[in-house]
Chains A and B, each alone.
Chain A
Amino acid sequence: MSAIVITVDGDRLEARAGMTVAAALIAADRPVLRRSPRAGAPRGVHCGMGHCFECLVTIDGTPGRRACLVEVRDGMAVETGR
């Protein structure tokens, strides 16, 4: 896989083309993706296949994207809600 660069909360992160945003974040040891609605507790990837909506992040300005389904692209900007 070729190396590409994304930004996560402003930090540069190297990822391999084809991997999901969730995998890129986990590989970079950044498992906290957002806070839960009522308790404000940290949340991360749970089901990994698009049905639990726990891994919602903002990707290139669009909120509510599932990190486990979207594959990284060079220059992609990811903002977590952590």
Chain B
Amino acid sequence: MSTPGISFAGKISPAKAGDPAREAQVERLSCDVCIVGAGAAGLSAAHAAATSGASVIVLDAFPRPGGQYYMQPPAEASASISGNPQVTAGATLIAEAERAGVRILSGREVWGVFPGGDLAGGRVPGRGVPAADFAEGVAGSNGFTLHAAGEDGAVRVTARSIIVATGAHDRVVPFPGWTLPGVMTPGAGQRLAKLSGTPPGRRTLIAGSGAFLLPVAASILKAGGQLAAVLEANDRPLAAAAIVARNPLIWREFARLAWPLWRARVPWYRGGMVVAALGDDRVRAAVIAPLDGRGTPDLTRTFEIGDIDALLVGYGFRPHIELTAAVGCAHDFDEAAGGWHCRVDPATAATTVPGVYAAGETGGIAGARPARLSGRIAGLAAAESLGFSDTSPERRRLVARRRGPAAFATALNRHFAPPRGLAAAITDDTVMCRCEDVTAGEVRAALADGADDAFGSKLWTRAGMGLCQGRVCGFGLASLIAADRDLDPEEVGFNTPRLPLRPVKLSTMQAALKE
């Protein structure tokens, strides 16, 4: 059936009549503030900037706004999916933003951002704008042009300021068999269950670390799936309980999520990790190893959990920093913030590039409540810097209100940090980079050959050079390189993305970049 090498590109088929013309249509819009991401942070930022008087456009990749936390099921969804409090709260947030005049463009993925917009007399972006212009502050004075494309058409937005609220994605680490169909991230399982009402499999094993495993398990049960078990790597439940106990705000949500698991008698293991997935053309079983005191799996004492057709493994989240990295913002490393994240000023959510703000998880993993607050801070500050109302007293209050929930998130992130010895499960034939099929053996050979860091291993092996641009393998590669070279993960660095940030048709790109 398959033809290795061109399996997904498929056949070259002649373009249908009318298609190229339609694709080449690029809607041109301009606004004061353009926000990327319509999740908790982006929607809050949009509402805040619009109520300050700014014109606001939000670009979002998904068919409907809401992001992950406030995910909105399709209109046809049954009441059992659409009737939960998160969906209702998200719908309110969306309606409030739209009432304030925000224009939300769904189904548009941002593939490029250039300094200079054509509204403030600035340079019209087009050919060969050097990335260094961002760093030199050209962007701040002249605005930006963002390019997005997708299902619902292509758009080019010129904006005086941009707010990056692109959220986060699951932090995964490779293990033998992790490319088998049925092995997914917890986030994938959550979306399948919450959006489509479909559990990721008939019988699912959820593993990894972090508080997110709990809502994923609850969603899968609600969608009618069975759970083989939940396996949490962290082995200090009392410490976790103490963190939760100190934060009454989340007791209710915790109880709502934990109750169905308790009622369904789902086995809850802790102190172990998945070291292999087994199966021929799809996952059938998982191999579990206990973790020792240093967070290293003991491969001599493994056991199997069989009769599964879905295995979800994730160790918390990583901030989505492609856009902020592409425009040259400074980034910092902090494991309790999800690793590399965009550096922001807490009082304004401003990044180190003038005119660019980062809200929510992009500035460090902290969850939905802090994301809403930082979104509001960013929206108010961005509008204020463009000459709209002075909101510094409100922003000071928001910063104070964000402190508690953000500290809670940091405590949880620190508690549920990925096990230190994760990379010990990675055998030489384990695929590291899924896009390019690069194995750990190839990466280790490159390291022995002189590739010292993330960038070096990319140049040597192509790991991280595929369609996902290292979003999936970045953490795993960093863990492997750090273990192999005896480095701190920070020293390994991260690979900055390349434009286009997402695949885009050349005809669309050509039309979008035309002056």
Contact = CB atoms under 8 A, between A and B. Distances in A.
Contact of A82 (B2, B75, B77, B434): B2
Contacts of A56: 8
A33 B197 contact: no
A51 to B, nearest CB: 5
Given A36-B7, A49-B188, A19 B468 contact: no
Contacts of B190: 48
A7 interface: no
Contact of B188 (A29, A37, A45): A45
Residue in A20, A36, A48, A58 whose Cβ sees the most chain B Cβ within 10 Å: A48
A40 to B, nearest CB: 4
B466 A19 contact: no
A76 interface: no
B198 A53 contact: no
Interface string B412-445: 0000000000000000000100111100000000
Contact of B195 (A19, A26, A37): A19
Contact of A16 (B5, B76, B170): B76
Contacts, number: 179
Interface in A38-82: 38-54, 56-58, 61, 63-64, 68-71, 79, 81-82
B63 A64 contact: no
B179 A52 contact: no
A56 B11 CA distance: 14
Interface string B466-505: 1110011000000000000000000000000000000100
Contact of A17 (B11, B74, B437, B468): B74
A23 interface: yes
A38 B4 contact: yes
B198 A47 contact: no
A47 B169 contact: yes
B180 interface: yes
B181 interface: yes
B184 A17 contact: no
A42 B181 CA distance: 7
A36 B4 CA distance: 7
Given A47-B472, A53-B468, A19 B198 contact: yes
Interface residues of A, number: 50
A46 B185 contact: yes
Contacts of A5: none
B415 to A, nearest CB: 25
B200 A26 contact: yes
A56 B435 CA distance: 11
SS class, residues of chain B in contact with chain A = loop
A47 B61 contact: no
B134 interface: no
A47 B437 contact: no
A47 B4 contact: no
B191 interface: yes
A32 interface: yes
A46 B466 CA distance: 15
B196 interface: yes
Nearest to A39: B437
Nearest to A48: B188
A13 interface: no
B282 A16 contact: no
A73 to B, nearest CB: 11
A49 B434 contact: no
Interface string B225-258: 0000000000000000000000000000000000
B188 A46 contact: yes
A27 to B, nearest CB: 5
Interface in B56-93: 61-63, 68, 73-78
Contacts of A64: 8-10, 503
A34 B170 CA distance: 22
B26 interface: no
B192 interface: yes
A37 B4 contact: yes
Contacts of A69: 61-63, 151
B261 interface: no
Contact of A49 (B7, B191, B309, B431): B191
Contacts of B68: 49
Contacts of A36: 4, 7, 179, 431, 434, 437
Contacts of A45: 181, 184, 188, 192, 200
B190 to A, nearest CB: 8
A44 B8 contact: no
Contacts of B282: 31-32, 42, 44
Contacts of B11: 63
Given A35-B2, A81-B1, 14 more contacts: A18-B196, A24-B196, A31-B182, A38-B437, A39-B4, A42-B281, A45-B188, A47-B170, A47-B188, A47-B472, A48-B184, A48-B191, A57-B8, A69-B62
Interface of B: 1-11, 13, 16, 61-63, 68, 73-78, 109, 151, 169-170, 179-185, 187-192, 195-198, 200-202, 281-282, 309, 320, 431, 434-437, 466-468, 471-472, 503
29 contacts: A17-B74, A18-B73, A18-B75, A19-B74, A19-B196, A19-B198, A23-B197, A36-B7, A37-B4, A37-B6, A37-B8, A37-B436, A38-B436, A41-B179, A42-B281, A43-B181, A43-B434, A44-B181, A45-B181, A45-B188, A46-B188, A47-B472, A51-B468, A51-B471, A52-B468, A52-B472, A63-B11, A69-B151, A82-B1
